[in-house]
A and B are shown apart, each in its own frame.
Chain A
Amino acid sequence: MRISFVGGGTDLSSFYTKEKGCVLSATIDKYVYVTIKHGPQIRGINVRYSESESVQNVRELKNDRVREALLASGINNNIEISIFSDFPGKTGLGSSSSFSVALMKGLRLLRGDTVDARTVAEDACMLEIGVLKEPIGKQDQYAAAIGGFNILTFNPDHSVVVEHLLLDFRKSIGLEKHALLFFTGITRDARDILSEQQKNTESKFSTLSQMVSMAEPFRTELLAGNFKRLGEMLHEGWELKRTLASGVSTSTIDALYAAGQGAGAWGGKVLGAGGGGCILFLAPLESHEAIRNAMKGAAKKHNLGWFNEVPFQFVQSGVEALMHKQ
């Protein structure tokens, strides 16, 4: 899964077809695992996720991603697909696209194709955006497939330029140490917010342009290890992002965010489309305990039973085959 720092929303086609979009993100040690078994010993089509489906015809599957991926792959019997995740979905960490990337990669391997990360990212984009017409962008698929710290540029011709940031371990661990990640306990469907955002693109065009222009300075400060400035930039980005659609922030989210800021954070943002999910802060080390306490207090006040801090590390590696028996 991934944390996106700046530029989220500019990866939507309603924006980047008119003006280049740009996102800076990094992958973290939270994974989605997909196992695929195919062979005559398996009867029918079996898919296990939060639900369990066993059907005879691919078209009967309720899980639309698995259904369309299987239809595209031509596999129509004798298959079992199971999905596990380190962290629940709909939390702003890009898990649903991580799932699509892992699924497409697995199905490619099953057919005996070894493909590069970029092709897997495009496969997942084709599945989610091309076939399923989800109102989402392309940043999560690329982040999950490629891994590490990346600047992703989305061109009007739909091509994506990936610039891998060559960050040394002091900067990457330093960023990790200054970061605090909280799950608000609220899950939301990104699609509702992003649909509105797609529609609002024209009226919010200058805001989105401003968000694009933040990627370059963010990169500069990141490579310099200026964590305070990075926190302030997250805050500026969040202030812009929350105006993009009505559901990006809510009074509860605002209260949680204010609690963290009030306890000494340099800045932060809600990850993903917003409306719930995870909140990231960058803060001086001496404020971390105060921020934790303030966030816990605010969560309790708003009856967020599933609120929790999420320890994480950045990782350089993208999607991978953990085991592949030919």
Chain B
Amino acid sequence: MKDFISEFSNHAIDAIRTLPSAEIAKALVILQATYERGGRIYVCGNGGSLALATHFVADLNKTVFSNHLEKKLQRFQAIRLPSTESELTAWANDVGYDMVFAGPLKNYIQEGDTLIAISSSGNSQNIIKAVELAHEYNVPIIGMSGFDGGVLNRLADAKILVETPLGEYEVVESVHAVILHMMVKYFKNYFNFLADNGHIV
């Protein structure tokens, strides 16, 4: 048991040690620019990645502003795709599973927004459809992938790849959670810094 635990921990530690920091920095700049222009941030993923997307949306919309909830301050506009189960099942049932993200995304998408697509394999059809739609609208794409990055890593503007052997979902999803929390922490620090320096009253 001990060996298994240390083996898994070491895989996770290795992945964290080799995070693509320049690409994460690029993603932070994209998010900052989106915030400045009042654009929306769409987040999507399948299964565990959908859970990560939901968690991140809550953090970006609320946790980031935890110390300033009473203040008059523009907030992030992050939206998990799709935002209702009804849309998810309607698109899956009526049109096809590959449209569950791109379909609802089309209701909102405008130039100036940003898409965060989370897919460990980087090859999920429904994720790629959403990425292609974003590309059509000239919307920057933050791609969070694992394994060899797949199609998503190739198409993304910020290529956040957690490189692992194929099928290492647990490590990839865990490290994705770390990266998403890192982004949350960055913006939390940012708004705290603004408040400390009198930019937010």
Q: How far is the CA of A324 from the CA of B110 in the complex (A)?
A: 9
The residues of A that contact B28 with a CB separation of less than 8 Å are 166, 168
Name the residue in A115, A177, A316, A324 with the highest tally of chain B Cβ atoms < 10 Å from its Cβ: A316
Tell which of A147, A173, A321 touches B111, judged by Cβ atoms closer than 8 Å: A321
Is there an interface contact between B137 and A114, defined as CB atoms closer than 8 Å? Answer: yes
User: Is A170 close to B, CB under 8 A?
Assistant: yes
- Known contacts A114-B138, A166-B22, A316-B32, A321 near B197 by CB under 8 Å: no
Tell which of B26, B33, B193, B194 touches A147, judged by Cβ atoms closer than 8 Å: B33
Inter-chain CB contacts under 8 Å: number: 48
Is there an interface contact between A177 and B197, defined as CB atoms closer than 8 Å? Answer: yes
B160 shortest CB reach to chain A, Å: 13
The residues of A that contact B36 with a CB separation of less than 8 Å are 315-317
Is there an interface contact between B193 and A170, defined as CB atoms closer than 8 Å? Answer: yes
Is there an interface contact between B190 and A169, defined as CB atoms closer than 8 Å? Answer: yes
Interface pairs A-B: 5 shortest CB-CB: A316-B33, A166-B25, A317-B33, A114-B138, A317-B37
User: Is B29 close to A, CB under 8 A?
Assistant: yes
Do most interface residues of chain A lie in helix, strand or loop, or is the interface mixed?
loop
The residues of A that contact B136 with a CB separation of less than 8 Å are 114
Q: How large is the interface on B (under 10, 10 to 19, 20 to 34, 35 or more residues)?
A: 20 to 34
User: Is A286 close to B, CB under 8 A?
Assistant: no
User: Is A20 close to B, CB under 8 A?
Assistant: no
Closest to A323 in B: B110
The residues of B that contact A321 with a CB separation of less than 8 Å are 110-112
B157 shortest CB reach to chain A, Å: 10
Q: How far is the CA of A316 from the CA of B31 in the complex (A)?
A: 9
Q: How far is the CA of A132 from the CA of B192 in the complex (A)?
A: 48
Taken residue by residue from 158 to 200, chain A's Cβ proximity to chain B (1 for < 8 Å, 0 otherwise) reads as 0000001010111001000100000000000000000000000
- B: residues with CB less than 8 A from A are 22, 25-26, 28-29, 32-34, 36-37, 110-112, 136-138, 186, 189-190, 193-194, 197, 199
Question: What are 27 contact pairs spanning A and B, CB under 8 A?
Answer: A114-B111, A114-B136, A114-B137, A115-B138, A147-B33, A148-B29, A148-B33, A164-B26, A164-B29, A166-B22, A166-B25, A166-B29, A168-B28, A168-B186, A169-B189, A170-B193, A173-B193, A173-B197, A177-B197, A315-B36, A316-B29, A316-B36, A317-B33, A317-B112, A321-B112, A324-B110, A324-B111
User: Is A116 close to B, CB under 8 A?
Assistant: yes
The residues of B that contact A177 with a CB separation of less than 8 Å are 197
Q: How far is the CA of A170 from the CA of B22 in the complex (A)?
A: 17
Q: How far is the CA of A115 from the CA of B26 in the complex (A)?
A: 20
Q: How far is the CA of A38 from the CA of B110 in the complex (A)?
A: 21
Is there an interface contact between A169 and B29, defined as CB atoms closer than 8 Å? Answer: no
The residues of B that contact A148 with a CB separation of less than 8 Å are 29, 33
User: Is A232 close to B, CB under 8 A?
Assistant: no
Taken residue by residue from 108 to 128, chain A's Cβ proximity to chain B (1 for < 8 Å, 0 otherwise) reads as 000000111000000000000
Closest to A169 in B: B190
Q: Which of A291-310 contact B (CB under 8 A)?
A: none
User: Is A53 close to B, CB under 8 A?
Assistant: no
The residues of A that contact B33 with a CB separation of less than 8 Å are 147-148, 315-317
User: Is A68 close to B, CB under 8 A?
Assistant: no
Tell which of A114, A166, A169 touches B193, judged by Cβ atoms closer than 8 Å: A169
Q: How far is the CA of A315 from the CA of B190 in the complex (A)?
A: 14
User: Is A80 close to B, CB under 8 A?
Assistant: no
Is there an interface contact between B29 and A320, defined as CB atoms closer than 8 Å? Answer: no
Is there an interface contact between A320 and B32, defined as CB atoms closer than 8 Å? Answer: no
Q: How far is the CA of A164 from the CA of B158 in the complex (A)?
A: 12
The residues of A that contact B137 with a CB separation of less than 8 Å are 114
Q: How far is the CA of A320 from the CA of B140 in the complex (A)?
A: 13
Q: How far is the CA of A230 from the CA of B136 in the complex (A)?
A: 40
Is there an interface contact between A166 and B26, defined as CB atoms closer than 8 Å? Answer: yes
